[in-house]
Structure 1
Amino acid sequence: MGRLLIFGIAALVLDVFAIVDLVVIDRSRVRAFPKIFWVIIVIAIPFIGALLWFTVGRDWGRKRGQSKVVAPDDDPEFLRSIRLDEEQQARIRKLEQELADLDDDPDTKK
């Protein structure tokens, strides 16, 4: 009798957790059926419905529209910023060299 009571409480807690999860989760992360059908399944088939929701119905991946983490050497924006930094450094070196050449030029000295 005690084991049945513990199983019943565990099933009730799992069902409540599944329903709360269904209510707060974004609609885009629900698979297979609309949210209302999942609520009906969880309520109609108490323990198994919650297990089905967590295994089949819920998308455990990242949110849609959320950017994927990319390694720096695969990120085109990062590579572009490095190239721009290198180009800027090259321009600075060229201008410094031109200024040094002007300083060394005897025609420009007074």
Structure 2
Amino acid sequence: MVRNLIFLALVALAVTVYALIECLRTPSSEVRSLPKAGWVAAIVLLPLIGAGLWFWLGRPKDNSGARPAQTRQGPTGAPDDDPEFLRNLERQRRNKAREDELRRKEAEMEARERKLREEGKPRNDEDKPHDEGGNPTEDTQRHTP
């Protein structure tokens, strides 16, 4: 019998402490029915009854006393509803596509240059043999009949 009373007293104390902490952490603007100070007094002066009334009538409708840190999100709280977030995603997508295109073109140019080197062809006129005057030599000049 004594054990049961001790157990019930501990449960009552735990519920009261939980209700008091939740009440203190809830912003005053979100407390329902009574001012926040009134709820604290009710919970402390009437431990189980005050805690029960807090859970039933006092705490915010969404049942969370403590609010997580607000993030920059749209009106519904979902990041994909935030226009700035969506613009940022689109900008990142375009930048990545641009970088991928540049890498692809660079790879094509490197492959083309490698192929030309393997074939032994010069890349451009600067790589062709020139005489002392800077003119292309006979063997590289085109002759038209």
TM-score with structure 2 length normalisation?
0.44
How far apart, in 1, do the equivalents of 2:44 and 2:66 lie?
A: 27
The one-character-per-residue Cα deviations of 1:33-55 (angstroms, maximum 9, x if unpaired) are: 11111122213332122122133
Candidates 73, 77, 80, aligned match of 1:69: 77
Please name the residue that 1:92 is paired with.
none
Two-structure CA RMSD over aligned residues (Å): 3.5
Distance 1:75 1:14 in 2: 39
Deviation of residue 11 (structure 1)?
A: 0.7
Shift of the alpha carbon at 1:30?
A: 1.8
Distance in 2, Cα, partners of 1:14 & 1:51: 9
Q: Which residue of 1 aligns with 2:43?
A: 42
Unpaired runs of 5+ residues, structure 1, are: 90-110
Q: Among residues 77, 86, 94, which one is paired with 1:79 in the alignment?
A: 86
Letter in 1 for 2:35: P
How many residues get paired?
Answer: 90
Unaligned 5+ segments in structure 2 are 99-145
1:83 Cα deviation after fit: 6.5
Aligned partner of 1:39: which letter?
A: V
Answer 1 or 2: which has greater helix percent.
1
Which entry has the higher C-alpha Rg, 1 or 2? 2
Q: Which has the higher contact order (CA 8 A, sep 6+)?
A: 1
Q: Which TM-score applies when normalising by structure 1? A: 0.54
Percent identity (aligned): 38
